[in-house]
Amino acid sequence: MFRRTDATAGAARPGFLRRLRDRLNRGDSWLTYDLADLWRGRRIDESVLEELETRLLSADVGVEATERILATLRAQVARAELDDVAALLAALRESIAAILRPVARPLEPDPAVRPYVVLVVGVNGSGKTTTLGKLARRWREEGRGVLLAAGDTFRAAAVEQLQVWAERSGAAFLAQAPGADPGAVIFDALQAARARTIDVVLADTAGRLHSQSHLMEELKKVKRVMQRFDPGAPHEVLLVLDANQGQNALAQARQFHAAVGVTGLVLTKLDGTAKGGIVLAIAQQLGLPIRFVGVGEGSEDFGEFDADAFAAALVASPASAARAS
């Protein structure tokens, strides 16, 4: 059985949320920048909403989510509920949170299933291996036994990087020679985990473009091999998406979901040029659970997705927006 260190988790959470706000809500943030000055003293009317619509669309929020947000705000304007910038931003935060709440579902391995198998997939450079390492560390700190399986057998650096994460976190590690069959590597890892009564297996896979049909077929084969070990495996198919990819991340999610049945998402690199809008597009159009977000390279820059915290990070109050300018 695993032991959850609630005191440790509770101490880490506020720090991560502060980092999330700092990284998403900087002076050039896609929603907060100059709004306090631009709209101060203005009546909230259609011209203000049209400008907000432009900002939402330019930030990869997508047409569907933007239309949903603006419909809510227009209804509130019609009822004379939004009479200043502060009220508008508060309503915007709530509209964003309402889209995100249904997909904010944490990933908790089922302790009754051992090993609980997580297959991690994504395109090259999305941050899969780093995500695996951070998950291993997180679950080791909660007292779970974790095995990292190096299913990316084509890139030696990926194996080495995963081994470093295993050593840092205290997780078990299994790899084979370069070029080995990925399905065989992961199957061996599952057998080893069962023999050692390890709680969770985190299985890496080689990065592949969602448009490469032969590589997507290989991923389907890996999943079939896992199901020979346990018909219920993998218990989670975790797709790692680089938030900087914008609308292309949405296309990736569609293709990977069609190929292997994605059950959860990780959004990485939200500290880069990404402004967070793609998270809304994904939530509105796909409805897939968003498990974690990453805002940096360190383990402390990785945390569970929280809809209200994310909305608050995207939309600052006029006072905080002014401070950020």
Domain residues of the chain, as ranges?
A: 1-325
Q: What is the pLDDT of residue 108?
A: 92
169-219 per-position pLDDT tens digit: 999 999 998 889 999 999 999 999 999 999 999 999 987 765 667 778 888
Q: Please tell me which residue, 4 or 257, carries the higher pLDDT value.
A: 257
Instruction: State the chain's mean pLDDT as an integer.
Output: 84
Radius of gyration of the chain (CA): 21
Interhelix angle for 156-169 vs 128-141, to 10°? 20
212-242 per-position pLDDT tens digit: 677 788 889 999 999 999 999 999 999 999 9
- Contacts of residue 181, defined as CB under 8 A and 6 or more positions apart, other chains included, come to 153
Q: Please tell me which residue, 143 or 177, carries the higher pLDDT value.
A: 143
| pLDDT above 90: residue 5 | no
Q: Please tell me which residue, 158 or 150, carries the higher pLDDT value.
A: 150
Among residues 106, 142, 170, which one has the least CA distance to residue 7? Answer: 142
Confidence class for position 32, pLDDT limits 50, 70, 90? low
Interhelix angle for 277-285 vs 247-260, to 10°? 40
- Overall fold of domain 1-325: Rossmann fold (3.40.50)
